[in-house]
Structure 1
Amino acid sequence: MAGRGPRAAVAVTRVVALHGLDAGAHDAHRLHAPDRIWPETNCYADLWIELLHAQGMDPHAMLPCVFGLDFEGDQWTFFKPSLADLRTLYGIDVQELTLWRPLLDHALEHVGAGKLVSVEVDSWWLPDTAGTDYREEHGKTTIVINDVDIAARRLRYFHNAGYFTLDGEDFARTFWLDGEAPILPTYAELIRIDRAVVRDTATLRALSRGLLGEQLNWRPADNPVERFRSRFDADLPALQEAGLAQYHKWAFAGLRQLGAASALAAEFLRWQWADEAPENAIQAFERIATLAKTLTLKSARAVNSGRPLDATESFDEMAEAWQIAMDGTIAALARSGADEA
């Protein structure tokens, strides 16, 4: 488990919040194993999985956030753990950070005090996105700043499924040291870990079951896959006209969030109930995850070729699986409550 840094001195050249982390030898949590159906989900959920893992905490407990997933009309819910959940489960307090001075100054102050800073940055300057965005495309993504070395102009940070290093020009542009700063301040958060708690598995499971019940109360009143089906059919011609670049953005907001959330839901149920896990619900969630991944590839081919795509069978199966998964999860939670009564 990583240690927590001391308060910064008046003049500093390097500040670190979590010590003992090696970007070159980061061991990702198994939720990010490369053999998973969806090894990555979205930038915010992924970095919290790794940030908790780096502190010796179990990120499974925060996964009830995926059970309220809904189709919002032009995207699926961009799921993330609520700040209240993070405090309840891990004793971590997250508040918005007002960027009233240069980002680097804020980072030096707060990381030097043993806090972490999450901030939206331009993925153009993140070398861990090589092959996609790095020096190829500008995009908004969230990182967590952990280690800032001014003398070396080097930053170590959490992003997606890993812990990475950037330096040189990437450092300067990430902190807006060269050129103009954004016209509008970016969004940032202050992560206080001074009261963080590493709880035992039984306690985490009990707390997380309560959060699961809250999320199920917010589940869609109807089957959201059916609404997604209608929008998919309506969107496909426009996506074929726009091309693959636009399709990939659409797929990230749609199929990836549905598939990745479903895969995490299956992992949560397996962790929460272990040997008594609701296999029918787990298999249904995993079926959705697999079908969403397959449909992502089929849709990409249809967009690239301009040929029609009949996704009726895929949507029929996903809609049925969603209902089975929800019913099975609700039944498992009810049984758990009866056992504890």
Structure 2
Amino acid sequence: MSAFHTSGVTGSNAGRSRVVSLDPLRLRARRHHAHALHRGERIWREGMAPVDLWIELLHGNGFEPRAALAFSVTQDFEDDQFTLGKLPPDDIEKLYGLQVQELAVFDSLEERALVQTRRANIVLLETDAFFLPDTRADAYHREHARTTIGIDVIDPGARRLGYFHHTGYHLLDGADYDGILRPAATSAALFPHVEFVKHVRDALTGTPLAETSADLLCMHLLRRPLHNPISRWRQAFPAHVETMLERGEAYARHYAFNVMQQLGANFELLAHYLQWMREQGFDIPLSAHAGARKIASETMVLQCRLARALSRGREDLCDASFDLIEESYARVVPPLADIVC
């Protein structure tokens, strides 16, 4: 399934429209199978949404997304959260020949998005999960939450569109379509942030893809944190626990998402990346791969342990988990820098 090729457009429609009927849209959704990174056993079922979106977007267009995960070695502790993972646009262009550009929305969000999808580009739209059927388990028609989707097909006549989100490809229509592309106009309304992805050159494959990814890994390792971010988090953690006890469960959930989940999911991706690099023939130590997996799994243990303590109104500084995570980090990122760069 390639969103960068105009499939299903024939005859007089080929040069001016990319309207797709209901059945081809449904067939498109059925044909998309989640990438291996999103199947089977996962330590963190909920990963990093911006990265998960790109994994499926790249996979859905026949590209190897694991080559883009070198950036994960740069994650740092930002005093109250871990760096939110995002694929750098420069990496995406070097590996896959895709450019990410900002889209100016100067009159109609629907019209501007339609223009780009007719060009076989994907529109990255920051939107409200309230209107996304794939979020039925949490936000759909219940809560308003900001998220980003990748729209590749729009059928304005039928008020229907197809989109990448989180770990899959989905469809929406009707009132949800209006909520996404035809928001109510008010004098105070602001257009959301929108980008589009266009294919400007052929993607790399095989050895060139792996070698370019290795070059990116070296570049990102030069940007790694100067000090062990786990040690810095550990120093701040007692004050964080005190705040969670004071502010209650709702705040603790937000903390868990922005701290433990971001750290654990990032290093689970790094483990997959290092394994892929080993499969490409690079001499990546097994200890680095195992250390990244240990950070991912032990961070989950820490999260569960902390949740139990907070539910009982007790303080737990999770020293045993911190010992393992801190030591594991020292066996992953610094040694990789010594070997690769």
Taking structure 1 as the reference length, what is the TM-score of the superposition? 0.90
1:201-240, aligned counterparts within 5 Å?
Answer: 201-240=206-245
| Residue 230 of structure 1: how far off its partner (Å) | 2.3
**Corresponding residue for residue 146 of structure 1:** 152
**Corresponding residue for residue 296 of structure 2:** 289
Q: 2:26 and 2:61 mapped to 1: Cα distance?
A: 10
Identify the match of residue 315 of structure 2 among 308, 319, 335.
308
| Residue 313 of structure 1: how far off its partner (Å) | 1.0
**Corresponding residue for residue 26 of structure 1:** 32
Q: 1:85 and 1:176 mapped to 2: Cα distance?
A: 33
Distance change >3 Å, CA 84–CA 99, structure 1 → 2: same
Q: 2:19 and 2:126 mapped to 1: Cα distance?
A: 23
**Corresponding residue for residue 131 of structure 1:** 137
The more displaced of 281-290 and 125-134 is: 125-134
**Corresponding residue for residue 337 of structure 1:** none
Q: 1:173 and 1:156 mapped to 2: Cα distance?
A: 14
Identify the match of residue 80 of structure 1 among 80, 83, 86.
86
Distance change >3 Å, CA 263–CA 215, structure 1 → 2: same
Matched, 1:329 2:336: yes
Kindly provide the amino acid, as one letter, of the partner of residue 198 in structure 1: A
Work out the number of aligned pairs and report it.
Answer: 332
Per-residue Cα deviation, 1:124-151 (whole angstroms, up to 9, x for no partner) = 1111111211122211100001111222
| Residue 14 of structure 1: how far off its partner (Å) | 4.8
Q: 1:139 and 1:302 mapped to 2: Cα distance?
A: 28
Q: 1:273 and 1:38 mapped to 2: Cα distance?
A: 22
Taking structure 2 as the reference length, what is the TM-score of the superposition? 0.90
The more displaced of 33-42 and 69-78 is: 33-42
Q: 2:209 and 2:113 mapped to 1: Cα distance?
A: 31
**Corresponding residue for residue 246 of structure 2:** 241
Per-residue Cα deviation, 1:170-227 (whole angstroms, up to 9, x for no partner) = 111112344648733211111102x342322211110011111111111111111011
Q: Secondary structure at the match of 2:189?
A: coil
Identity, % of aligned pairs?
34
1:86-97, aligned counterparts within 5 Å?
Answer: 86-97=92-103
Q: Which runs of 5+ in 1 are unaligned?
A: 335-341
Q: 1:158 and 1:200 mapped to 2: Cα distance?
A: 23
Kindly provide the amino acid, as one letter, of the partner of residue 149 in structure 1: D
| Residue 246 of structure 1: how far off its partner (Å) | 2.2
Q: 1:266 and 1:50 mapped to 2: Cα distance?
A: 18
Q: Which runs of 5+ in 2 are unaligned?
A: none
Q: Secondary structure at the match of 1:22?
A: helix
Matched, 1:101 2:111: no
Kindly provide the amino acid, as one letter, of the partner of residue 270 in structure 1: Q
Q: 1:181 and 1:26 mapped to 2: Cα distance?
A: 40
Are 1:240 and 1:302, in contact at CA under 8 Å, matched by a contact in 2?
no
Are 1:95 and 1:190, in contact at CA under 8 Å, matched by a contact in 2?
yes
Q: 1:81 and 1:233 mapped to 2: Cα distance?
A: 32
Q: Secondary structure at the match of 2:219?
A: helix
Per-residue Cα deviation, 1:262-283 (whole angstroms, up to 9, x for no partner) = 1111111111122643100010
Q: 1:242 and 1:8 mapped to 2: Cα distance?
A: 57
Matched, 1:263 2:268: yes
